[in-house]
Amino acid sequence: MQPTPSWIESANDPAGGFPLDNLAMGVFSETDGRKRLGVAIGDFVLDLSRLEEEGLLALAGEPVMNRGAWNGVMALGPAKWDEMRARLRELLGEGAPHRPAVERALVRRAGIRLHLPFDVTEFTDFYAGRHHAENVGTMFRGPENALPPNWLHMPIGYNGRASSVIVSGTPVRRPWGQIKGRDFAAPILSPSRRFDFELEMGAVIGRPSRPGEPVPTEEAERMIFGYVLLNDWSARDIQAWEYQPLGPFQAKATATSISPWIVPRAALAPFRVPTPPREVPLLPYLAEPHPMGLDIALEVALVADGGEEVIISRTNARELYYSFPQQIAHHTLSGCPMRVGDLVGSGTISGPTRESRGSMLELSWGGAEPLELPGGITRSFLEDGDEVIFRGAAGGPDLAISFGECRGRVLPAIEKPFWME
Ligand code: MN
């Protein structure tokens, strides 16, 4: 597959990641700070509010592109998403009409600021990666209890916080919490000493479901507006003490970073792959009528101590045992309604090898095997000042569909307030 040709030269670079076949969606501003919707194309972002003003893009009876979030467009529904995509492909393709006007709506990506692309109304985090679940289970409960008894029968997850979802580039403060070491008689109050990242994908729900109505997987897939990279920052020491019996709470509540670009579901349709072979048959409501996994190459880079960037993990979203449509089908089984702006995290995506593990907890095996980085630096967990960078792309050397980056730097914990002494 080659990129669909565009009159924007940089969009035709097979390795560029932002061809006409992607049209990743973001919210951007320039120096005046005015937020509006745009799509990435080559080295540019196309200002959709300007196209709308010029009468070249009209999805609704009123302007929807001069907003600070994509939720308004999402709420118009999948037929309008398709209409927008077809129109943009027409305006950016070879032999396009209105080219001078479209050219005036192009802004160089190098000079813009990117914001959280949508208002996150809800956040659920699943645990759909088998290698991660087995690795963590082995460390926390031993190899014989690695996978919980329910794991092979349903995608398990927990309801997270929408309030702490932040956009790539926003720094993250090391959290305080209750920590209890194995040899401590009682917990202590401390900044987390085992602060970590989790390499995940996120699905952005663009179409709601009704209360009380379970959604089949095929329908669930059509509710997805697009996908983002997601870093579910995690404090492992806080988690170890608090997680039984109700699951993680404060350990996962500090921050969740997402990439500024939402890659449309339509752009990833050619990269659907079957989920891994089932070890036990699933109940019929989790059946996949066609391949619903996603072939997306993922990598994690670490900049430790302001030093050089090192790739510490490479994996693929196809490792997820449960697809997003299965996660959503299970989520709605109880009648739980999904909302426009709902964010569904996949859970950490680790591969089968050491080099493909998606968290520091796994990469350093709980601190027993610290990572050795150039310059004699070692890391078991994240230190203050460390920066974590996720990158992801579907496709190959002929045609890359990029997610861009999801990055975040760890800031020191706040100073202990007097009332915590
Ligand atoms: Mn997570």
CA–CA dist 13, 122 (Å, integer): 37
The Å distance, Cα 69 to ligand 1 centre, comes to: 24
**pLDDT at residue 224, rounded to an integer:** 98
Q: Which residues of 136-149 are buried (b: 16+ CB within 10 A; e: fewer)?
A: bbbbbeeeeebeee
Taking residues 392-421, report their average pLDDT.
96
Structure-token match 């900044």, residue found: 191
Are the CB atoms for 164 and 254 separated by under 8 Å?
yes
Q: Which domains does the chain possess?
A: 9-115 (2.30.30.230), 123-415 (3.90.850.10)
CA–CA dist 298, 318 (Å, integer): 10
Give the SS3 label for residue 326.
helix
What does the block give as tokens for 250?
Answer: 């404060």
| Mean pLDDT computed over every residue of the chain | 97
Checking if the pLDDT of 34 tops 90, the result is yes
Q: Residue 88: enclosing H or E segment and its boundaries?
A: helix 78-92
Q: Which residues of 208-238 are buried (b: 16+ CB within 10 A; e: fewer)?
A: bbeeeebbbbebbbebbbbbbbbbbbbbbbb
The Å distance, Cα 231 to ligand 1 centre, comes to: 8
Checking if the pLDDT of 89 tops 90, the result is yes
The Å distance, Cα 311 to ligand 1 centre, comes to: 21
**pLDDT at residue 140, rounded to an integer:** 83
CA–CA dist 298, 253 (Å, integer): 24
Measuring CA to CA, how many Å separate 213 from each of 208, 256, 327? 11, 29, 15
Q: Residue 38: enclosing H or E segment and its boundaries?
A: strand 36-41
- Record the pTM: 0.97
CA nearest to 263, candidates 289, 233, 295, 302: 295
Structure-token match 């994908």, residue found: 201
Q: Amino acid letter at 276?
A: P
Q: What residues are annotated to the active site? A: 132
CA–CA dist 268, 276 (Å, integer): 18
Checking if the pLDDT of 354 tops 90, the result is yes
The Å distance, Cα 98 to ligand 1 centre, comes to: 45
Q: Per-residue confidence at 109, pLDDT binned at 50, 70, 90?
A: very high
Checking if the pLDDT of 305 tops 90, the result is no
Per-residue pLDDT tens for 135-186?
999 998 899 999 999 999 999 999 999 999 999 999 999 999 999 988 999 9
Taking residues 238-243, report their average pLDDT.
95
**pLDDT at residue 207, rounded to an integer:** 98
